[in-house]
Amino acid sequence: MELGIVVRPELDPESLAEHARRAERAGFSELWLWEDCFQSGGIAMCATALAATERITVGLGVMPAPARNAAFVAMEIAALARLHPGRFHAGLGHGVDDWMRQVGAKPASQLALLEETVVAVRALLAGETVSVEGRYVRLRGVALDHPPATVPPVSVGVRGPKSLELAGRVADGTVIDWLSSADYVRRARERIDAGRSVAGRTDPHRLTVFACIASDAAGEAAIWRAVDERRAEGGAQAAFLNAPLSDLALVGDTDAQRRALAELENAGADCVVLVSADPSVPLDAAALAPLLS
């Protein structure tokens, strides 16, 4: 199982390059970013992180599909994949409902829009000429002039059972949101596999799981606040949030955190990405390096 680290979008974009270099020096195999309204753009931040480092894989988990045209997002992904072969993982999601309404991009069917977008983007990245008249995606003889020789995986960041099945049908991987217990990850993998079975897919499907981490009381308090906020939202994860903090996050000493990582791996995680629950406190990559051994 790979181990990664998040640089949250609430941090100043000027600090990203140094955070990325620290993660690479500490030995993390992956650095993940995400795109929230109205913070730094995900593609620009990923390009910066890739340019500032030499080896670490950079993932975008995720950017909202309703705010992106499939052809243009494929162009952006292809450019990063050509400039940094094998080092970029792309990700798309439904987008936060309130934000999508705020910018006039909330679709009537989130599932249809995400599926149409992912299918078109993957086809374009594979070098195909795409013509489609979908409900949301309409392309007429579109092909990339510079498709990547090494096609990057396209994951989706989703929570609910129908969306997880969609991920299994059409995506290369799934990004599971933070505050996910091993039980939730196991159930998510089951729904993903159900979708894969319907589509007859036998290729690998990468499951990336974000996980909050804390080593002191202040960090644990921040995680509890995040749990309370997620409970208030309800939704697919809510039923799994009535659990001890040790089931929902990596807490305690290094040995306890390693045990939590092992449980996530046994549940089906291919990569666990460490997240600070407090957006104002970035993770110290060097201090977390013992988890890599």
| The residue type at 47 | A
Q: Is the pLDDT of residue 236 over 90?
A: no
Share of the chain above pLDDT 70, in %: 100
Comparing C-alpha atoms, which of 149, 213, 173 is closest to residue 59? Answer: 173
Could you give the residue ranges of the DSSP H alpha helices within the chain?
A: 16-26, 42-52, 70-83, 97-102, 110-125, 161-170, 182-199, 217-233, 245-248, 254-267, 285-288
158 contacts 191 by C-beta, under 8 angstroms? no
Angle CA 99–105–110, to nearest 5:
90
Region 10-33: mean pLDDT is 98
pLDDT of residue 215: 87
**Tens digit of pLDDT for each residue in 246-287?**
999 999 999 999 999 999 999 999 999 999 999 989 999 999
* CATH classification of the domain holding 277: 3.20.20.30
If DSSP codes are grouped into helix, strand and coil, which group holds residue 183?
A: helix
What pLDDT sits at residue 130? 98
Provide the number of structural domains found in the chain. Answer: 1
Instruction: Return the closest-CA partner of residue 150 out of 82, 77, 71.
Output: 82
- Taking a C-beta distance cutoff of 8 angstroms, is the pair 285, 23 a contact? yes
pLDDT tens digits, one per residue of 48-61: 999 999 999 999 99
Q: What is the amino acid identity at position 243?
A: A
- Structural domain harbouring 7: 2-292
Binned at pLDDT 50, 70 and 90, residue 43 comes out as very high
Sign, CA torsion 282/205/36/32: positive
